[in-house]
Structures are given as structure tokens and as C-alpha cells.
Amino acid sequence: MTISTLQQERAKYLPKLPQSLLGSVKLIEGEKTNSVADQQEIAGLFPFTYGLPLITFEKGDEAKTFASVNVGVILSGGQAPGGHNVIAGIYDGIKRLNQESRLYGFLGGPGGLVDHKYIEITDEYLNDFRNTGGFDIIGSGRTKLEETAQFDKGLEILKKLDIRALVIIGGDDSNTNACVLAEYYMAQNAGVQVIGCPKTIDGDLKNEMIETSFGFDTATKVYSELIGNIERDSNSAKKYWHFIKLMGRSASHIGLECALQTQPNICLISEEVAEKKQTLDEIVEYMAGIVAARAADGNNFGVALIPEGLIEFIPEMKSLIQELNDLLAEGSGFEAEFKATPDDVVRRKMVAEKLSEKSAKVFRSLPAGIANQLTLDRDPHGNVQVSLIQTESLLGEMVKNRLNAMKKEGVFKGKFNTQYHFFGYEGRCAAPSNFDADYCYSLGFTASMLIGSGKTGYMASVRNLTQPAEKWIASGVPVTMMMNMERRHGQMKPVIQKALVSLDGAPFRYFAGQREAWARQTLFVYPGPIQYFGPSAVCDQPTKTLQLEQAR
Ligand code: FBP
């Protein structure tokens, strides 16, 4: 395989670990924990893994011996930079426990466990993947592990390979399921520990104990580089408004972080839209107002950031999407009839007739292309696939219409030419930044220490992340601690609480204090590409979000 010169040099990078994990390690048990809400129900559902104590690893004073252990690992869900280093951390960690330990990777995501598809990860195989982006070392997938038949099928192969611990690297849903699996294997006395690792570029798996999910740092730096380049182009040509949709299925952390790094003219935050109960028309009015104000200053150009999940946060769109999800759910009766109808116009008419009056009105008002996109296949969780909906062009078209009307009223005298972009896949497999390379390796290493300590139902956690890596704190957090009960597909389920952008949080408050100036003036910042070698000030900075959240 030919690899780039950068990759050759980057392969030599030795990820940093917290000081506490460098030699022998001591486990400190903290307080017993409670779930963030719904304690009684969750305690009842997880009799074995509820209420476990927090764990911190500290530097130990005596070398311990560990029996060898066979470990399995699964990558679950969307790619995030640094996944390969989590696996490297697990591998090096279990080898540190005992050189005879072995690591097996299940192929193509959780489905690999159920279908018994795996490889053994050896030194030679792993070395080509250290410090690289992507999940191609074993592949990923979105199969949900939630049925006991799947757990039993998985146990067959775990037993066959004598695997005593399984690490599931995933987002909030995958880690919820990891805990359900941990509980089931405990109840079965199966002798298999299950440990989770917090992954997602979306940044929405975070709480007091998980400061950030891995991949968020690298992905937002890649998008910010691209946004900065576009800002500079926009400021050079002075003839386009660039509408940029940014990935993040639900929360707007990515958009907010990129705005903090690049200071665009507009950045919509879905959580604020929901809080203020804004309608689509109000959002369009806000954007058109900024375009007109800049035009009045002679600036017929600008950059607007739009979070991918926006439409689900606009109350009228949310109701519409919920109705569509139910209507088009597999086995709903209507779904088969809908799929058997080839003509889009007829399909839209059929759908509108089944919706409530209010939602039908919204559905009919949408451009045909967007209405079609809203009826596309759902993901395995039954949700609309927001990455397939062109919110950026929906808003661009609507802003254009509004500006045309304003022109007639004499309140807009400028020009409005648009370019559309969607940044998502560009960042998910980027070579991990130093931060993610170190953080991921530390998470994997922490997972192996949890395995060595016989723990199950825990998520690996590494904290104190705005400090140098030596000062990071390696811990284990009981997954049940992060759970609450939520309605999913009509049923109340225990799930890890998703972290949306907090409007009281320091990152949003800082942004809200600056955005008016960023809108009217041209205060773009051009961050440039991620640097892997060079001064620490450019190579090792954590995200602005983390810096603002942890500013003391
Ligand atoms: P995870 O939640 O699995 O980390 O995935 C996040 C994400 O990158 C979202 O930002 C995006 O909406 C989605 O995956 C796209 O999914 P797919 O890779 O299936 O197109």
C-alpha cells in the first residue's frame, strides 16, 4: 500500500497518556452513583449495573500481575477521527496487563458480533493504522444491538474465542446498548465485561464526567479550515453569499464551535430556534435582515452556517417530521402503498392527505425537492436522515424570495447570489489532531485498565482536557449514571441523555455576545489546516468550546 509522506511521518507519533497511566496503576473507588433522572425505574431495569461507584486511576506504587485476557472491540455508528487510536490504546493497554492478551475486532460494526465476523488484531496489522483517521481497521456499522437473540448469538462467538471483555466504541445510543448488554451478560453469569467509549463528531455525548466525545476536535478543525477558506474567497470576490450546512444530526455543537473559530456573519443554533419557538419564516426574516444590512454597507457577500439538524428543531417542522416518521414507519400499512407509488407528485399528495391539517399546510408550502427528501427512507432508528435534506438550499431559496419582496418595498437594494455547501463527510475520517490522537489513545488505554480491574457497565472517561495530557484524569463512569427515561418509538426507554447546546453555557453566551458585530462587519478568522508538527500553540489547542467551558 502506498502511503503519503505525512502519513509516514505521522506513524512515528507517540500519543501522550495521562501521567497516572504511565506505570503501575491504582484504582480509587469514589461515591456510589445515581442516574441523572428517573432513578427508580433505571435502578429496576439495571439491577446489576446501577449505582456503581465512580472510578479514578492514579499512579500505583507497586507492580501488579494480571492474567492474560482476550478482548473484543466494535466500532459503532458514524466514523470519527481517532477511532484507530482508541483501538491502539486498548491493544497496548491489555498487552501491558499481560503480553499474552489478545484483541479481536468484530467487522462492520455491531453486526459483526452477531454474524460472527471478526479478525485478530496483531501488532503488524495495527501498526499501519496508528494515528490515522477512518474506521477501516475493522469497519463500522449502524446495526442496533438491542435484542436478547443478538446478545445470545454474540455470546456464542465470545465463548468460542474465549473473549472475556468487549469494548463498544460509539455514541449515546450505542453506549446505552453497551450497558444493556453488560447487564444481560451479568444476569446470565456469562463472564463477559462490557465497556463503552464516547465517540461522535457531533459532540453531543458529554456531561460532567465526559468532557467531550472523540472526533469532535478534529472534525471541527477540518470544517473550520474549509469555512475560513470560503470566508477568504467570499471576502476576495465579494459577490456570493455562502450557505454552509454542517453535520451534527441533532445538536448544534459543531456549528457553534466552527462559528467560534471562524466568526461568520450568520450561524443558526437549533437549540435557540427551539427555545424561542421560531418559525421557518422568522428564521428567514432574520437571515434576510442581515443580508440587507450588509448590502446597505456595500457588502453583497457573506457566510452563513446552518446546523444539519435545524429543521427538526423548528416546532412546526418537528411536528411534521414526527407525523411523517409514524406515517412512513415500517409496517405502518401506509408505507407499502407509498413505496409502490413511483410518481413523486402523487406520493406528496398521498402523504399530505394523511397529515394533520397544520402539518399538511407546512408540507405543501415546502419546495417539492425538500418535501420529497423528508419522505425518504428512515435510518435504522426510525429517524429521518437529516444529512440527506438540503436545508441550506431551502433557506437560500426562501431568503431569496424574501429579499425579492423587500426589493419591491424598497428596503433591499443589493444583490444576493448564493453558493451552497455541506461539510460533514469531509471531516469524519481526517487524520486525528494531536488532541484526538492523544485523547483516543488515552480512552482506549483507560478501557483496558477498566477491563484489568474486572469492571463492566462502565464508560472510559478522560478529563481535565484543557490541561496538558500528562495532567489528564483517567476514570470509569457507570453508564447508568448518564441515563434517563425517554420515549422512543412510542415506548419509554432508558437512554443516555443527549447533550444539546446549552443556551446558558459559556460557548453560546460568548457567541451571542459577538454575533451582531460578526453579522454586520467582516470579522472573519481563517484558522488554516490542522498542524501536526510545530509549536504547541498551533498543534495542541483544544476546541474553543472546551476552552470556554473550562475557563476558570
Ligand atoms: P454518530 O452519531 O454515529 O457518531 O454519527 C454522527 C453523524 O456523523 C451525523 O453527524 C450525521 O447526521 C450522520 O452521522 C450521518 O450518518 P451516515 O454516516 O449514516 O450517513
Listed residue (547, 376, 445) closest to 167, CA to CA: 445
At residue 386, does pLDDT exceed 90? no
**pLDDT value for 173:** 93
**pLDDT value for 64:** 85
Read off the pLDDT of residues 264-312 as tens digits, 9 standing for 90 and up. Answer: 999 999 999 999 999 999 999 999 999 999 999 999 999 999 999 999 8
Q: Which atom of ligand 1 is nearest to the CA of 77?
A: 3
Question: Residue 28 Cα, ligand 1 centroid: separation in angstroms?
Answer: 36
Burial class (CB in 10 A: 0-12, 13-18, 19+), 104: buried
At residue 156 the predicted structure's pLDDT band, cuts being 50, 70 and 90, is very high
The three three-digit cell numbers of residue 370, written as one number: 425538500
Q: Residue 253: CB within 6 Å of ligand 1?
A: no
**pLDDT value for 35:** 96
At residue 330 the predicted structure's pLDDT band, cuts being 50, 70 and 90, is confident
pTM: 0.94
Arithmetic mean of pLDDT, 220-228: 98
Question: Residue 426 Cα, ligand 1 centroid: separation in angstroms?
Answer: 12
Distances (CA, A) of 247 to 254, 257, 392, 419, 456: 7, 12, 12, 17, 32
Rounded distance between C-alpha atoms, residue 306 and residue 397, angstroms: 14
**pLDDT value for 381:** 65
Q: Give the DSSP per-residue string, 397-461.
A: HHHHHHHHHHHHHTS--S---EEEEEESHHHHTSPPPHHHHHHHHHHHHHHHHHHHTT--SEEEE
Read off the pLDDT of residues 59-92 as tens digits, 9 standing for 90 and up. Answer: 998 888 899 999 999 999 999 999 999 999 999 9
At residue 328, does pLDDT exceed 90? no
Distance of CA 22 to the CA centre of its chain: 29
At residue 36, does pLDDT exceed 80? yes
Please state, for a pLDDT cut of 70, what percent of the chain lies above it. Answer: 99
Residue nearest atom 8 of ligand 1, based on CA coordinates: 78
At residue 251, does pLDDT exceed 70? yes
Please state, for a pLDDT cut of 90, what percent of the chain lies above it. Answer: 85
Query: Among 202, 204, 436, 438, which one carries the catalytic annotation?
Result: 202
List phi, psi (to 5°) of 300.
Answer: -90, 45
Probe ligand 1: pick from 79, 200, 222, max atoms within 8 Å of CB? 200
Question: Residue 386 Cα, ligand 1 centroid: separation in angstroms?
Answer: 9
**Are the CB atoms for 405 and 292 separated by under 8 Å?**
no
At residue 549, does pLDDT exceed 90? yes
Phi-psi region of 110 (alpha: psi -120 to 50; beta: other; left: phi over 0): alpha
Q: Residue 200: CB within 6 Å of ligand 1?
A: yes
Q: Residue 83: CB within 6 Å of ligand 1?
A: no
Rounded distance between C-alpha atoms, residue 428 and residue 218, angstroms: 8
- 45 residue type, one letter: L
Residue 96: HSE in the Cβ half-sphere, 13 Å Cα cutoff: 22
**pLDDT value for 552:** 64
List b or e across 320-350, with b for residues whose CB sees 16 or more CB atoms inside 10 angstroms.
Answer: bbebbbebbeeeeeeeeebeeeeeeeebbeb
Read off the pLDDT of residues 439-473 as tens digits, 9 standing for 90 and up. Answer: 999 999 999 999 999 999 999 999 999 999 999 99
Rounded distance between C-alpha atoms, residue 245 and residue 230, angstroms: 13
Mean pLDDT over each residue of the chain, to the nearest integer: 94
Residue nearest atom 16 of ligand 1, based on CA coordinates: 78
Rounded distance between C-alpha atoms, residue 33 and residue 44, angstroms: 15
The three three-digit cell numbers of residue 100, written as one number: 499474552
List phi, psi (to 5°) of 389.
Answer: -100, 125
**Are the CB atoms for 283 and 343 separated by under 8 Å?**
no
Listed residue (513, 487, 503) closest to 274, CA to CA: 503
At residue 491 the predicted structure's pLDDT band, cuts being 50, 70 and 90, is confident
